[in-house]
């Protein structure tokens, strides 16, 4: 099994700081392409497919410690000793866990619309839709979309999922994310492994105003693990804040990173 993750590397200059990008559940590194483009003129960037997503290794188990170790091995492979880490949603959870485990590697942490807490399950309808797509009985993405629509009424959610549907050389259709493992370990993915660790480096939590993932009720947990954290709200944005309000999101990140020089 590979001990590192698939990544797209943009190296501007050997002396430029590194920015690591980690997408969310059911996604891939393309989800954060707008961030990559914006910061590629000032930062070296490693845009990563999470485990069980995109072109990264497919597992038969799950733990944030395991994912954190895979991220560590990936940075080592690319000779990255210190970096800024930006993660959205599930990628934000991994970013937080990595900062807690390896604080000396993380020069600064940006967490997009997620908190260090155990969340109630909220993707059962998505899993039900994915499981009921008859991959052997479709000839195009529109066929899968019709089947997904029975369970997922939101067209935007379906289009997001369908970005990970691909056809192999033998013309069979597959999901790029590891459906079986994500379902089997979904409770652990929603969970947050409690510890006495803290990350005292500069940290920015960015919340979508209309999202219920990162709320005031989680402030104590945030400060418990990340005592130097600050928060910013992107007005008019939901959970997909970087896609819905890219200019405002990138400005927030840019302001934070400029303060770390």
Q: Which of 68, 89, 164, 229 is catalytic?
A: 89
Q: What letter does residue 59 receive in the DSSP assignment?
A: -
Helix (H) or strand (E) holding 234: strand 229-234
d(CA 83, CA 89): 19
b/e 216-243 (16+ beta carbons within 10 angstroms → b): eebeeebeebbeebeebbbeebbbbbbb
**56, 239, 242, 252: the active-site residue:** 239
Q: Active-site residue 229, yes or no?
A: no
Round to whole Å and give the CA distance between 93 and 68: 10
Is-catalytic flag, 89? yes
Q: Tokens 């997904």 identify what position?
A: 148
Sign of the CA dihedral with 192 first, then 213, 5, and 173 last: positive
Contacts of 135 (CB under 8 A, 6+ apart): 144, 172, 173, 174, 175
Residues 6+ apart with CB under 8 A from 142: none
> Which residue has tokens 């990350």?
199
Other Cβ atoms less than 10 A from the Cβ of 161: the count is 21
Closest by CA to 9, choosing from 78, 82, 95, is 78
Q: Which residues are catalytic?
A: 89, 239
């Amino acid at each position: 099994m590979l001990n590192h993750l698939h990544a797209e590397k943009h190296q501007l200059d050997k002396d430029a700081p590194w920015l690591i990008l980690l997408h969310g559940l059911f996604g891939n590194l393309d989800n954060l392409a707008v961030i990559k483009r914006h910061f590629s003129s000032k930062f070296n960037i490693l845009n990563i497919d999470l485990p069980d997503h995109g072109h990264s290794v497919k597992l038969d188990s799950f733990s944030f410690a395991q994912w954190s170790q895979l991220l560590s091995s990936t940075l080592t492979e690319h000779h990255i000793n210190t970096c800024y880490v930006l993660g959205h949603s599930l990628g934000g959870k991994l970013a937080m866990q990595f900062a807690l485990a390896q604080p000396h590697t993380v020069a600064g942490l940006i967490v997009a619309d997620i908190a260090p807490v155990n969340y109630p399950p909220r993707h059962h309808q998505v899993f039900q839709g994915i499981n009921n797509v008859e991959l052997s009985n479709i000839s195009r993405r529109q066929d899968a979309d019709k089947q997904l629509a029975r369970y997922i009424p939101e067209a935007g959610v379906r289009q997001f999922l369908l970005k990970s549907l691909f056809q192999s050389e033998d013309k069979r259709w597959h999901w790029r994310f590891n459906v079986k493992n994500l379902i089997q370990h979904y409770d652990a993915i929603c969970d947050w492994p409690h510890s006495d660790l803290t990350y005292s480096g500069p940290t920015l939590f960015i919340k979508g105003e209309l999202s219920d993932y990162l709320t005031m009720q989680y402030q104590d947990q945030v400060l418990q693990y990340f005592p130097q954290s600050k928060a910013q709200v992107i007005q008019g944005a939901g959970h997909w804040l970087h896609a819905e309000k890219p200019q405002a999101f990138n400005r927030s990140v840019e302001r934070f990173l400029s303060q770390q020089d």
